[in-house]
Structures are given as C-alpha cells and as structure tokens.
Structure 1
Amino acid sequence: MADIAATYSRPAIKWHETATAGYVVLALVVLIWAGFALTMRAMGKSPLATADVALIRFAVPAVALLPLLFGRLHLLRNVDSKAVLLVLAGGVPFYLVASAGAKLTSAAYVGALIPGTTPLAMALITRVFLRRKISARQVLPIGLILAGVVLMVAGQRDVVTAETLRGV
C-alpha cells in the first residue's frame, strides 16, 4: 500500500489566509489608530507644521505601496473616476480638518471621534460630491453617531471648555 501522504499532498495555506495573520493585522490597525490620535495631539508641541506631518503621513505609505499598484492598474479601469479622485484627494483635507480639531481637544476625544464619525463623514462626502442620497437605512445609524457625539460631550460637561467644543 502506497504512502497516502505521498499520494495526496496537503493544500497549501498561504500565510495571509491564517487566523494569526488576521490578528497581526488587527493589532497593527489598533496601534495605527492609537498612534494617530496621539500624534495629532503631539503636533502642537512639535516644531513640524501640520503640512509637514501630512506630507510624511501620506508620502511614505504612497511610496511604500507604489510597487503593489502596478500589478493592479487594470482594476482601476472599472472604478468610477470621481471615486478615485475622492480617495486620492480626500485624505489630505480630512487630515487637515482633523488635526485642527485635535489641537483643541483631548487625545481621548480624537481617538473616539475620528473612527467613530467616519461613516458620518463618508455619508456626507458621497452626498455632496457624488450626489448620492442618504438612504432610509442610513438615517438611524447616522443619528446614533450624532447622538453618541452629543452624549460623549454632554457626559463630561463639567470639564468641557469652549475650546474643546470647537475641537469636537
């Protein structure tokens, strides 16, 4: 009887298809978001201007990921050009607005508001630039996001200043 292991090979599992890889990526995302909130606050004490930090933040990943783009250029032909422009140009204005607000409020607020209000920002951006209507299905989640922001600020009304409100 022939060796079964020699006859039937095990299917190859790629490293990025494992649960461990998923946990590693998840941990990296959490670290990046935590670092984002902390660096937004630290910019106020840095000799770098907001534009300098934005250039570092956007240019380094763009250059690092550029080799991966060439093999996928054909996929971009199927994407709406307005959507591509929003992705390419949308990050910098958002970053500038977020960093202006972060200078006025705490890192805790930045850490909660930036990822927490992203769906709201996307709904507004697609409404303004792509003329997409906010669907009835989106109204409740958007309302909950807004209520969460109001409750977060109202819950600490004893320590919230006018400057903090401007930052929020």
Structure 2
Amino acid sequence: MLNTQSVYSDKVHRLFLPTKVLGYLAMTLVLFIWSSFALSIRTIDGSSLTIADVALLRFMVPAILLAPWAIKHLRVIKTIKAVDIALILLGGIPFVFLAALGAKSVPTAYVGTILAGTPAVFVAIIGAVFFAQIMSKKRWFALFMILVGVVVMMLSEQQLLSLKDPSGLGFLFAASACWAIFAITLKRVNLKPITVVIILSYCSGFIMLVLISSGMVDSELGHFSLQQALPFIAIQGVGIGVVATICFSYAINQLGAEQASVLGSLSPAITALLAVPVLGESLSLFIGCGIGITIIGVILSHRC
C-alpha cells in the first residue's frame, strides 16, 4: 500500500512540476516584455514615429489579432458601466502618452522604477482617501520603502543635472497614478484579461484614429517604413498588448498571484541592466541602491 502511494505521489509530482516550470518561464518572458516596454518608450523620441503613431500600433495590433474573440466578449462588455470603461481606458492612451512624455527626459532606470514601483503607493492613497480602507503599519512601511527607493535613485546629482526637463518625472508619476486607477477598477469589475485587452485595444485604437485623422496629435503615419515600425509593433502591439497579458495570467494561475507579483517587482532592475548595453546608459550607485530599495518595498507590500 505504501509503495503504491509512493508511486502515485511520484507521478503526481512529475505531472505538476512541468506546469510550475512553465509558470516561471511565462513570468520570465513577462519581465523581459515589461522591461522592453520602458526601453521602447525611451526610443520613441529618436525614431521616425511619434508618440501617437506608437500608441496607434500599441492598440490596433492586438485589436486585429484578437478580432476572432471580440464578438464573444461583447456581451460582457455591454454590461460594464460607462464610468468603469472610462477608468479602464486610463490604462490606455493616457498611460502611454504620459509614460512616453516622461521617458523623453529621464534615464530608463527612472522609467522602469517609477512605472513598476509607485502604482502600489497610489493604490494605497486612493484606497485610503476614497474608500476609507485601513492598512496595517507594515503595509505603510512597505510603501514608504518604495518612496525612499525612488528618492534615493533621484539623489544622484549627476543624473538630476542631466535631466533636460524635470517635468518628465511629473509625467511618469501621473502615468503611475493612471495605472493605479486602472488596476483598482479592474479589481472591482473583475473581468477576464482578454476582455480587458479587447476594451483597451478597440476603444483606445478608435480614439487614436480619430485624434490622428483630425490632426489633434502629431503623426508621421504614412511617412515611416514597416521596418522602422516593426520594433514597436513587436514590443508594444504583440508583446505588451497580447503576449504579456496572456503569460501573466498563466503565471498567476500556475504560481499564485502573490508569487507572480513579487517576481514582477524585479522588472525595474532588469530594465536598468538592459539599458546599459541597449541604450548605452550608465548605472550609478544611487540608481542601483534606489532600485534595490524600491524592489524590497514592492515585495513587502505584496506580502502585507
């Protein structure tokens, strides 16, 4: 009897181990895609495309790829309140534009750390102010650690003096706030990831087409080649728009939400490290320490 149980246990272990490994692999892919988002946002200013062009690709590519599933999710989308749709859309065009405007004048490490680390702070503030949520001292300490990490990162006098426009930091924090509202809304309405992607892609894509065709935003549409647009199609459209969402959802299912979120907090470090060979940026002691403190704060906030 014991031998039979042992054999059965070994079979179960072999059966479930691959799925967990796949979960880690999926999360690794997500981390590199998230880091690539910050890197690609940083390169818009030196490319032939404008922010509006990149935003259009960001939303239209997944809209086209997910077209076969759009009608199936339309019934669910119709039941969502208009105000919730509007709040979800803050994670679309406003987030992309604010992130891109901020990335114009700050190091990539700032982009990755602020966008990945500080939304947790804004979520806490919004929850306390608007929903009267009471948080433990441990959670407040974790959020304080995140802010300390960002401040330490910005203490590098050389980096601060090199900023072309300090308002870039303001744009990044505004983008972080938009993402926090987006995240809070998703938690409240409880939608499937693919439904969220369809809402973002079709609504934001349509709005971008209107803004570009009316001349309300600068665009070079028709004046850049497919080769020039391909990196943004791959990273922003396919990577962020489709692959990252699906892989992150899969990782949550295999590893659990807490473990997946903790692994996701490594994104700023990967972004900063990739910026050295890809964009030729330097990694100062202050930036390294700041990223480290922020990551610790994010991990602690997920465990509180």
In the superposition, the TM-score normalised over structure 2's length comes to: 0.42
Separation in structure 2 between the aligned mates of residue 71 and residue 21 of structure 1, nearest angstrom: 28
Q: CA RMSD in A?
A: 3.5
Which AA in structure 2 matches 1:29? V
Q: Which has the larger radius of gyration?
A: 1
Which AA in structure 2 matches 1:136? M
**Relative to structure 1, is the Cα distance of residues 94 and 125 closer, same or farther in structure 2, using a 3 angstrom cutoff?**
farther
Instruction: Give the corresponding residue for 2:300.
Output: none
* Secondary structure, aligned partner of 2:131: coil
Separation in structure 1 between the aligned mates of residue 21 and residue 27 of structure 2, nearest angstrom: 10
Deviates more, 1:48-57 or 1:27-36: 27-36
**1:64 lines up with 2:65 in the alignment:** yes
Instruction: Give the corresponding residue for 1:158.
Output: 158
Separation in structure 2 between the aligned mates of residue 84 and residue 55 of structure 1, nearest angstrom: 19
Which AA in structure 2 matches 1:158? Q
Which AA in structure 2 matches 1:50? I
CA-to-aligned-CA distance 1:75-111 (integer Å, 9 cap, x gap): 5577665333322343210111111010011112112
How far the C-alpha of 1:51 sits from its partner, in A, is 0.6
Paired-residue identity, %: 34
CA contact (8 A) 2:128 2:134 kept: no
Separation in structure 1 between the aligned mates of residue 69 and residue 59 of structure 2, nearest angstrom: 16
Q: Gaps spanning 5+ residues in structure 1: where?
A: 1-9
Separation in structure 2 between the aligned mates of residue 127 and residue 82 of structure 1, nearest angstrom: 21
Work out which structure has the larger RCO, using CA pairs closer than 8 Å and 6 or more positions apart in sequence: 2
Instruction: Give the corresponding residue for 2:44.
Output: 43
Instruction: Give the corresponding residue for 1:86.
Output: 87
**Relative to structure 1, is the Cα distance of residues 121 and 164 closer, same or farther in structure 2, using a 3 angstrom cutoff?**
farther
In the superposition, the TM-score normalised over structure 1's length comes to: 0.70
Instruction: Give the corresponding residue for 1:148.
Output: 149
Separation in structure 2 between the aligned mates of residue 92 and residue 127 of structure 1, nearest angstrom: 26
Separation in structure 1 between the aligned mates of residue 67 and residue 145 of structure 2, nearest angstrom: 38
